Amino acid sequence: MNDERAQPTSDPEAITPVPKPSPPAPDSREVEEGKVFAILSYALSIIGLPFFLIPLIMRNNEFSLYHAKQTLIIWLAGIAAGIVSGILSFICIGIVLGVAAAIFLLVLTIMGLINAAQGEEKPLPLIGQWGEEWFKGITKV
């Protein structure tokens, strides 16, 4: 009799998952030229100035543009948190939620500021990947 049972494959590509390609490291010249705008995007955001719009409009440096997108997602999260906490303030949980969101977004802004100062392009925890996905069409010209 012919026994045709499924035999395990010996192909290593079929067994091991293919890792996602890591984003290319930023060019050191791009980092040095864009570091000031990247840092200012976060620093001025802390005091309420939307400086991140400058790199988004100019789009002449990949490093500053990356951090401007990360700052933009922080601002959008802040607007959403403000709306939700404003609505929920009628049941008294909105004030607590608003303060917690403000502290969380301040911590994210400081983390982004540190990343920019160190010349790194790391997405911010929890919301940074949205900045990369939503604004991937905004590229250097």
Give the 3-state secondary structure of residue 64.
Answer: helix
What are φ and ψ of residue 97, in 5° steps?
-60, -40
Total Cβ atoms within 10 A of residue 115: 21
What's the predicted TM-score (pTM) here? 0.78
Measured CA distances, 6 to 3, 9, 14, 15 (Å)? 10, 9, 15, 15
CB 58 within 8 Å of CB 83: no
Angstrom distance (rounded) from CA 46 to CA 50:
9
* pLDDT, position 125: 93
Single-letter amino acid, residue 1: M
* pLDDT, position 107: 97
The rounded percent of the chain whose pLDDT value lies above 70 is 82
Least confident of 25-29, 52-56, 71-75, 84-88: 25-29
* pLDDT, position 62: 93
